[in-house]
Amino acid sequence: MSNKLKGIIASNGVAIAKLFLFNKEELVIDKSNISDQDKDLHIKKVEDAISSYFNDLDYKEKNEQNEEVLNIVRAHKELLQDPYFVDTIKEKIQNENKNAELATNETVEQMVMVMSALEDEYLKERADDYKDIGFQVLCKIKNVVPKDLSKLDEECIIISKELTPSDTSNMDKEKVLGFATDLGGKTSHVSIIAQNLDIPALVGMQDVSSNIKGEELAIIDGNQGILIVDPSEKEIEDYKNLIEKEKEEKQRLEKVKNLEAKTLDGKVCEVSANIGNIEDLKVAIEHGCDGVGLFRTEFLYMENDHFPTEEEQYEVYKEATQMLGEKPLVVRTLDIGGDKGLDYYDFPKEENPFLGYRAIRFCLDHQDIFKDQLRALLRASAYGNLKIMLPFVISTDEIKQTRIILEELKKDLDKEGIAYNKDIDLGIMVETSASIIMADKLIKYSDFFSIGTNDLTQYTLACDRGNENISDIYNNFNPAVIRSIKHVIDESHKAGKWTGMCGQFASDTKATKLLLGLGLDEFSGSASKLPKVKDIILNSNFKEEEKFALTILDLEDVKDVEESIEKHN
Ligand code: PEP
Ligand code: MG
- The domain segmentation of the chain, as residue ranges, is 3-24+148-250, 38-142, 258-568
Provide the pLDDT confidence category of residue 121 given band limits of 50, 70 and 90.
Answer: low
Q: Is residue 367 within 8 Å of 405, Cβ to Cβ?
A: yes
- Parallel/antiparallel/unpaired status of strands 3-6 and 226-229: antiparallel
- Classify domain 38-142 by CATH number: 1.10.274.10
Partners of 426 in the β-ladder: 388
Which of the ligands is closest to the CA of residue 526? Answer: 1
Which of the ligands is closest to the CA of residue 453? Answer: 1
Q: What is the pLDDT of residue 188?
A: 66
pLDDT at residue 495 above 70? yes
Helix (H, G, I), strand (E, B) or coil at 58: helix
At the fourth CATH level, which superfamily is domain 3-24+148-250? Phosphohistidine domain (3.50.30.10)
- State which of 454, 485, 524 you would mutate to test the pocket of ligand 1, scoring each by most atoms of that ligand within 8 A of its C-beta: 454
Least confident residue range of 44-48, 381-385, 401-405: 44-48
Nearest residue (by CA) to ligand 1, atom 3, is 452
Cα 431 to averaged position of ligand 2 atoms, centre (Å): 6
User: Which residues define the annotated binding site?
Assistant: 296, 332, 431, 454-455, 465
Does 38-142 match 258-568 in CATH topology? no
Q: What is the mean pLDDT of residues 529-552?
A: 97
- State which of 502, 508, 526 you would mutate to test the pocket of ligand 1, scoring each by most atoms of that ligand within 8 A of its C-beta: 502
Cα distance between residue 359 and residue 125, in whole Å? 22
Provide the pLDDT confidence category of residue 187 given band limits of 50, 70 and 90.
Answer: low
Q: What is the pLDDT of residue 547?
A: 98
Residue type, 125: E
Cα 248 to averaged position of ligand 1 atoms, centre (Å): 34
Cα distance between residue 227 and residue 219, in whole Å? 6
pLDDT at residue 186 above 70? no
Residue 33, CA atoms < 13 Å, CB-side half-sphere: 7
Q: What is the pLDDT of residue 167?
A: 84
Q: Phi and psi dihedrals of 156, rounded to 5? A: -155, 170
Q: Is residue 71 within 8 Å of 165, Cβ to Cβ?
A: no
pLDDT tens readout for residues 264-280: 999 999 999 999 888 88
Cα distance between residue 477 and residue 508, in whole Å? 11
Q: Give the atom of ligand 1 at the shortest distance from the alpha carbon of 453.
A: 3
- For 457-487, give the DSSP string: HHHHTT--TT-GGGTTT--TTSHHHHHHHHH
Q: Give the atom of ligand 1 at the shortest distance from the alpha carbon of 298.
A: 9
Q: What is the pLDDT of residue 82?
A: 86
Q: What is the pLDDT of residue 10?
A: 86
Helix (H, G, I), strand (E, B) or coil at 331: strand
Q: Give the atom of ligand 1 at the shortest distance from the alpha carbon of 451.
A: 3
**Residues 181, 185, 189, CA angle at the centre, nearest 5°?**
80
Cα distance between residue 277 and residue 316, in whole Å? 8
- State which of 390, 455, 476 you would mutate to test the pocket of ligand 1, scoring each by most atoms of that ligand within 8 A of its C-beta: 455
Ligand 1 lining (C-beta closer than 6 Å): 294, 296, 335, 431, 452-455, 502-503
Q: Give the atom of ligand 1 at the shortest distance from the alpha carbon of 274.
A: 5
User: Which residues define the annotated binding site for phosphoenolpyruvate?
Assistant: 296, 332, 454-455, 465
pLDDT at residue 120 above 70? no
Q: Give the atom of ligand 1 at the shortest distance from the alpha carbon of 452.
A: 3
CATH architecture of the domain covering 258-568: Alpha-Beta Barrel (3.20)
Nearest residue (by CA) to ligand 1, atom 4, is 452
Provide the pLDDT confidence category of residue 526 given band limits of 50, 70 and 90.
Answer: confident
The percent of residues above 90 in pLDDT, for the chain, comes to 68
Mean pLDDT is highest, among 172-186, 330-344, 438-452, 519-533, for: 438-452
Q: What is the mean pLDDT of residues 108-120?
A: 81
> Strands of 226-229's sheet, edge to edge?
3-6, 226-229, 217-221, 14-22, 156-160, 176-181, 201-203, 8-11
Cα 403 to averaged position of ligand 2 atoms, centre (Å): 21
Active site residue 189: yes
The pocket of ion ligand 2, defined by CB under 5 A, consists of: 431, 452, 455
Question: Catalytic one among 156, 269, 289, 502?
Answer: 502
Nearest residue (by CA) to ligand 1, atom 8, is 454
Nearest residue (by CA) to ligand 1, atom 9, is 296
Which of the ligands is closest to the CA of residue 122? Answer: 1
Q: Phi and psi dihedrals of 323, rounded to 5? A: -60, -30
Question: Catalytic one among 189, 269, 287, 363?
Answer: 189
pLDDT at residue 223 above 80? yes
Cα 541 to averaged position of ligand 2 atoms, centre (Å): 31
User: Which residues define the annotated binding site for Mg(2+)?
Assistant: 431, 455
pLDDT tens readout for residues 302-358: 878 899 999 999 999 999 999 999 999 999 999 998 777 888 998 888 989 889 999
Cα distance between residue 477 and residue 514, in whole Å? 10
Nearest residue (by CA) to ligand 1, atom 6, is 452
- Beta-carbon contacts of 300 under 8 Å, excluding residues fewer than 6 positions away, are 277, 308, 312, 313, 316
Q: Tell me whether residue 347 is exposed, middle or buried, using C-beta atoms within 10 angstroms of its C-beta: 0 to 12, 13 to 18, 19 or more.
A: middle
Nearest residue (by CA) to ligand 1, atom 1, is 452
Cα distance between residue 168 and residue 364, in whole Å? 42
Cα 392 to averaged position of ligand 2 atoms, centre (Å): 7
Least confident residue range of 58-62, 68-72, 242-246: 68-72
Q: What is the pLDDT of residue 542?
A: 98
- State which of 122, 274, 280, 296 you would mutate to test the pocket of ligand 1, scoring each by most atoms of that ligand within 8 A of its C-beta: 296
Cα 305 to averaged position of ligand 2 atoms, centre (Å): 23
Is the model more confident about 325 or about 62? 325
Round the average pLDDT of the chain to a whole number and report it: 92
Cα distance between residue 468 and residue 403, in whole Å? 39
Cα 226 to averaged position of ligand 1 atoms, centre (Å): 30
Provide the pLDDT confidence category of residue 70 given band limits of 50, 70 and 90.
Answer: confident
Q: Give the atom of ligand 1 at the shortest distance from the alpha carbon of 502.
A: 5
Cα 67 to averaged position of ligand 1 atoms, centre (Å): 24
Mean pLDDT is highest, among 19-33, 207-221, 279-293, 542-556, for: 542-556
